[in-house]
Structure 1
Amino acid sequence: MTLPFEPILFGYEINVHLILEYLAFFLGYRYYIFLRKKTTDTIESTNRLSIILGAAIGAFLGSRIVGFLENPVWISDIFSFLNLFNTKTIMGGLFGGLLGVELAKKMIGEKQSSGDLFTFPIIVGIFIGRIGCFLSGTNEFTYGKTTTFFLGMNLGDGLKRHPIALYELLFLAVLFVFLWKLKRTNLKNGLLFQYFMIAYFGFRFCIEFIKPNTFFLAGLSSIQILCLICMLYYRKTILNLVKNAR
């Protein structure tokens, strides 16, 4: 198989990445429904729907805003305007969704933590989406710098590059297992999602150094700056982790 993987079916080129993106949303949501049925949800159904709506709106806006900052698209015609809506990143989606949830909870007066139930479905969704990123090769900005490292691969441009999507797939699999085991230790409500965000944003901060990025401020990319903002947001949890580790 060569990358990008663009199979032809009935004379039409299939966008595998787009199909896997939709599949990621569908399976992630179905997994969420499955987990909710097996879990005693302390949040009322109407409030939970409001939280999901807040997450969806926040994720949509966040993914587009941060995606634009990562790869600016200048609007010169209708096609560049439409392309602006296709410029997105999961990092902005996650953090935007987090802010959307917090805003929705303030509006409806919900004080209980709501993120734990979303944690594993989010990981599953990202995992499926990253398979699509890998199959897209250099058509998607999820490839790494050129390298002589033994894991370097030809992702479609004839050069050996870091297969960042594969690195992330491995990380997500390990993170899923780790958090699943951690879940069984009677973890305080809300911490599971916080640990996921800290771990994932920490991983992405590091992996960005081997991407052919544009570094805007202090040698950091827009994604890395967002990672630092996320770490600042969860500073109390991080400090408690450090304290307990000692």
Structure 2
Amino acid sequence: MKIPFNLELFGININTHLVLEYLAFFIAYRYYVFLRKSNTDTINSNNRLSIILGAALGALIGSRLVGFLENPLIELSLRNLIQLFNTKTIMGGLFGGLLGVELAKKLIGEKQSSGDLFVFPIILGIFIGRVGCFLSGINEFTYGKVTSSIFGMDLGDGLMRHPTSLYELVFLTFLLITLRAINDSFQLKNGELFKIFMLSYFGFRFCIEFLKPNVFYTFGLSSIQLLCVICWLYYSQFIASLLLSRQVR
């Protein structure tokens, strides 16, 4: 199989990444609906709908904003504005969705944590999307730096690069298995599973960014890495509580 890879149906070239991206949203949402039906949800349907809307709006804004910050010096033109609108990143979507949820909960007066039901659907959705990123090769800025390691792959430009999308697929598989084991083995408080997921995924992305050919840096870090730091600071109280509980034991 040659990368970048696109399906061809009845002589029409199909954007595989775009198809998988929409498929990721659909399957992840259906998985969430299944989990909500099979688990006791402490949040009523009206408030849950408000939370989902808040998450969607926050994710939309966050994904575009962080996508812009990855390439902030884009020339102002109609074509570039359209490209900018289509530029998005899952990291901005996750953190923007988190802020959108918190804002929605404040507006409706909801006190219960709401993220745990989203954890496994999010992981599944990211996994499907990353398959699309890998098949897109250098057409999507998810590829790695040139490398001489045994993991190097030709992603479409004739150079051997780190297949960072494949690395992420392996990590997501491990994360899914680990979080399921934690959820089944420990009595977690409501909302803690989501926090562990966010800290784990953002920690992984902080590290994997060093393998990507980023251009724009602040304090020696890319915009994605800065967002990872912000996320860890956001959950600093939770991290402190985990460390304190370990010391007590």
TM-score (norm 2): 0.96
State the aligned residue count.
246
- One-letter code aligned to 1:96: G
| Matched-pair contact (CA < 8 Å) for 1:73–1:83 | no
CA–CA distance in 2 between the matches of 1:118 and 1:86?
Answer: 25
In structure 2, distance between residues paired with 1:238 and 1:229: 13
Conserved 8 A contact 1:17-1:133: yes
Structure 2, unaligned runs of 5 or more = none
- Residue identity over aligned pairs, in percent, reads 67
Contact 1:24–1:126, Cα closer than 8 Å, also in 2: yes
Q: Which residue of 2 aligns with 1:162?
A: 162
Shift of 1:245: 4.1
Displacement of 1:103 in angstroms is 0.2
Structural mapping, 1:141-152, within 5 Å: 141-152=141-152
Q: What amino acid maps onto 1:141 in structure 2? A: F
Runs of 4+ deviating beyond 6 Å? none
- The CA deviation string for residues 106-151 of structure 1, in whole angstroms up to 9 with x for no partner, is 0000010000000000000000000000000000000000001101
Task: Determine the structure 2 residue equivalent to 1:93.
Answer: 93
Cα RMSD, aligned residues only: 1.1
1:82 aligned partner: 82
CA distance in 2, matches of 1:110, 1:69: 32
Q: How far 1:11 moved relative to its partner?
A: 1.7
User: In the alignment, what sits opposite 1:190?
Assistant: 191
Task: Kindly indicate whether the alpha-carbon contact (under 8 Å) linking 2:55 and 2:100 is maintained by their aligned counterparts in 1.
Answer: yes
Counterpart in the other structure of 2:221: 220
- Which TM-score applies when normalising by structure 1? 0.97
**Residue matched to 2:130:** 130
* Structure 1 unmatched ranges of 5 or more: none
Q: In structure 2, what is the Cα distance between the partners aligned to 1:243 and 1:217? A: 32
Alignment correspondent of 2:67 = 67
Query: Given that residues 70 and 216 in structure 2 are in contact (C-alpha distance below 8 angstroms), is that contact kept between their aligned partners in structure 1?
Result: no
Q: C-alpha distance in 1, partners of 2:13/2:142?
A: 21
Counterpart residue number, 1:16: 16
